[in-house]
Chain A
Amino acid sequence: MIVAERKPVEEIKALIAGHGTVCVLGCGTCVTVCLAGGEREVAVLAGALRCGNNGHFSENTIERQCDAEFFENVKDQIDASDAVLSMACGVGVQMAARLFPNKPVYPALNTKFMGVSDKAGEWSENCLACGDCKLGIFGGVCPVTRCSKSLANGPCGGSTKGRCEVNPEKLECGWQLIYDRLKSLNKLDTLAEIAPPRDWSKTHAGGPRKLSREDVAGL
């Protein structure tokens, strides 16, 4: 899922300053699940901003801000507001901006990464959407994401006791994980093969990516 966290309230305040009524708009999917922008967070942020006399706020939460249709139910509410403070990930904020060309739309969250939840209240980044998934040869551990240097052919010299030199306190060495996993699968020999350089044009380096399914598209 997409993992996000609330921006510092000062930053949010600066963004919305000067607007009369602001619609605080939550999203019911990823950011609800990662506790950043669901109905509860909308109520808490709007409530706190009200307490601090930062303006007038209306609240709502829709199923998904990345799909236009879900905005139908809040159209009137947004029309009646001077700005939208979206508590969705960056994708949702942009959809809101696209749908309401004359309304300022501001992000209330910082979109962090695509990741897993490790336990209540903890998340880790797991995929960078490189467009050419190679998990099959790396034992199900992503070297692009979980190695701080995105190395494709084994660890750097800084891997110590399973920790990554970039931040040993916080980070496991992705390559140690790949090694351990392949070892337990009895497939260490796959590492003997050199992984060719990644085709970075399939990543964001090739420009914003588009996807179409001809069979579904159209009427």
Chain B
Amino acid sequence: MTLPKTKPVKSSARALRQNVAILGGGIAAMTTANALAGRNYKVSLVFSGAQLGGNARAFPELFGHIGNDLKQSKEQILSTITNLEMQINNQRSIELFPESTAASVKGEAGNFKVMVSSQGKTFRLSAGAVVLAAGTNGIGAQNKTGLTLGKNLIAFSSLLSMIREGKTPKKTAFLLDGAAEQDCATSAAVFSCALLLAQQPKTSSTVFCKNARVAAFGMENLYRRARNAGVEVVKYDSLTLQRETAAGIAVITRDTIADKELCDEFETVVYADRSADSPRIPSITGLKTAPDGSLQYDNVWLLPAQTNRAGIFTAGASRGITELREVLNDGLAVAGQVHDFLRQGQLVASKDAANVDAEKCALCLTCLRICPVSAISIDTKNKAATVSPYECQKCGACAAECPALAITLPGFSDEQIQKKVGDKPKTIVFACENSAIPAMQGAGKLPASVAVITVPCAGKVDPRAVLQALHKGANKVMVLGCHPESCRYLSGGSRASKRMERLRETLDKAGFNKERVVFGGLAALETGRFLEYVSSNQTMAGQVFSPHPGAAS
């Protein structure tokens, strides 16, 4: 085997700049800025509006649940914004960049370069950490009714401007939960708006929803006030819209419990689900978002506010925190996590990060695309993938996936694993050190026929290692890792489970008992489950297997 060639690490530590760029100017961004300034960090707030306050300042009438009536709620939200703004203005360490957008975030953890364009000029902000807090596109930004917007089907924001201009529609329907069940903040906004309409003479409004959510403080009160003012609430199981009838749009709902179909016509219909996409997210290589559009990949290890990329965090609605009081508290949580990152002062290059043999690399980009923390980039000079020793978490997923076998994780090379596998007819358990190994601690002495091999992550387990073990006579090979949703390395558990499934199918079709290869998910505390997995093997009737000579190349 050729020895892996690593680029020599020039300096072994990278200093973390002690400042933060917050992209966004809404309440989440403001509270985060104040909390960070409180911890003595220099903060740059980059936001698109002329003023701070974001959507809350633009639509202060939509917070009906925080006061006793709409007027009071509106005053309260505006004064909240004013207070936050005053605090910001009193902090000399916070610099404001209004009417500015961040086009991209480049660079690396602790030393990011944010490209900002502001009123025709572009400039570069350097920051140790970045907080993405530009919120979402808001309510109804993505019309998912299947009908195109027109005279009768209008956007939520258009309805608000109509109300402001005094052109209140007479009969309005709000459609909630069309694409997914909505959160309290969206319900609050919709009920506030419906109430606003109902308070006008000769107007009526109906809210169609799958569930009325009253869980947030003040929501029940708002709901009651809306109902008292005449807002109709229709709960539905399925809903269809019929385009343009004489009186507007017909909304047909079906209530499966009552087994009833209802049809009513509305002058105006408003699609009111919150769109999860964030406006103006700068381009950031390797940022992995959740399927629902949240900028935070769905995994417990990132909580509260980290994205999959070290040093990049997200606050407020862009990770699903939308209810006002939660948003107000979010700043502290985000600032705490940013502080935990920056106070390290420096990142130390790890000596045993994954490394790429540039000569073997076929530049397929698989490793780049699958690295959970996006630690891999292309070294254009060497024409090969290269791993950042500062960012690499040593999970080994890249090494187990590289089609050209160009990547090695020190300590877990083919040879090292082979040596541990040995050549006795055993049960080989590849055990993830974040779940299976701790789960094993309480398990007492394992039968001598079980050999446990520690791996940093189930995603490190190479199908070749599994085949090797079977070939050397293992009765059974188990890959035990984190439950996919709580994997220490975000996607290692699910990757391992899918990879092993593919291998099982291949083995099955090749005429081998696939039950001799098993993937199991477990949590660090699940000693019982660990024992179940391991002992299930004792009763396994293994297929007689005769290794062939001439196997290795």
Contacts and interface: CB of A to CB of B under 8 A. Distances in A.
Interface of A: 8-10, 13, 21, 28-29, 32-35, 38-41, 43-45, 47-60, 117, 119-120
Contact of B548 (A40, A56, A117): A56
Nearest to A6: B506
B545 A51 contact: yes
Contacts of A51: 467, 470-471, 507, 510, 512, 545
B336 interface: no
B320 interface: no
**Among B405, B506, B545, B551, residue most surrounded by chain A Cβ atoms (within 10 Å):** B506
B403 A38 contact: yes
Q: Which 7 pairs of residues, A with B, have the shortest CB-CB distance? A: A47-B467, A52-B510, A52-B511, A9-B509, A59-B553, A38-B403, A120-B369
Interface string B92-132: 00000000000000000000000000000000000000000
Given A39-B403, A58-B553, A119-B369, A47 B546 contact: no
A9 B504 CA distance: 12
Nearest to A41: B403
Interface string B510-553: 11100000000000000000000000000000000111111111
B198 interface: no
A166 B404 CA distance: 37
B496 to A, nearest CB: 15
B362 A57 contact: no
A57 B548 CA distance: 9
A138 B512 CA distance: 51
Q: Which DSSP category, helix, strand, loop or mixed, fits chain A's interface?
A: mixed
B393 to A, nearest CB: 18
Contacts of A9: 506, 509-510
Contacts of A54: 510-511
Given A21-B550, A50-B548, A59-B552, 14 more contacts: A28-B362, A32-B404, A33-B365, A38-B403, A38-B405, A40-B402, A44-B506, A47-B464, A51-B470, A51-B510, A53-B511, A53-B548, A54-B510, A120-B366
Contacts of B547: 50
B163 interface: no
Contacts of A34: 364
B463 interface: yes
Contacts of A13: 509-511
17 contacts: A8-B509, A9-B509, A10-B509, A33-B363, A33-B364, A33-B403, A35-B366, A39-B404, A41-B403, A47-B467, A47-B468, A48-B503, A51-B470, A51-B471, A56-B549, A57-B551, A120-B366
A35 B506 contact: no
Contacts of B550: 21, 56-58
Q: Which DSSP category, helix, strand, loop or mixed, fits chain B's interface?
A: loop
A120 B553 CA distance: 28
Contacts of B229: none
Contact of A120 (B370, B503, B549): B370
Nearest to B502: A44
Contacts of B511: 13, 52-54
Contact of B546 (A39, A43, A53, A60): A53
A71 to B, nearest CB: 16
Interface residues of B, number: 33
A34 B512 CA distance: 27
A39 B405 contact: yes
Given A43-B467, A44-B503, A59-B553, A117 B365 contact: yes
Given A28-B362, A49-B510, A38 B468 contact: no
A54 B506 CA distance: 13
Interface string B182-199: 000000000000000000
A31 to B, nearest CB: 9
A78 B454 CA distance: 38
A50 B507 CA distance: 9
Contacts of B509: 8-10, 13
Nearest to B400: A40
B366 A48 contact: no
A116 to B, nearest CB: 12
A68 to B, nearest CB: 21
B462 to A, nearest CB: 8
A40 B362 contact: no
Interface string B396-433: 00000011110000000000000000000000000000
Nearest to A42: B553
Nearest to B360: A39
Given A9-B510, A54-B510, A58-B550, A32 B403 contact: yes
A100 B507 CA distance: 30
Contact of A44 (B365, B370, B464): B464
Given A32-B364, A50-B548, A60-B553, A40 B405 contact: yes
Contacts of B470: 47, 51
Nearest to B553: A59
Nearest to B546: A53
Given A44-B506, A58-B553, A35 B464 contact: no
A117 B368 CA distance: 13
**Among A8, A47, A57, residue most surrounded by chain B Cβ atoms (within 10 Å):** A47
Nearest to A39: B405
A48 B403 contact: no
A40 B362 CA distance: 12
A88 to B, nearest CB: 13
A61 B470 CA distance: 23
Contacts of A39: 403-405
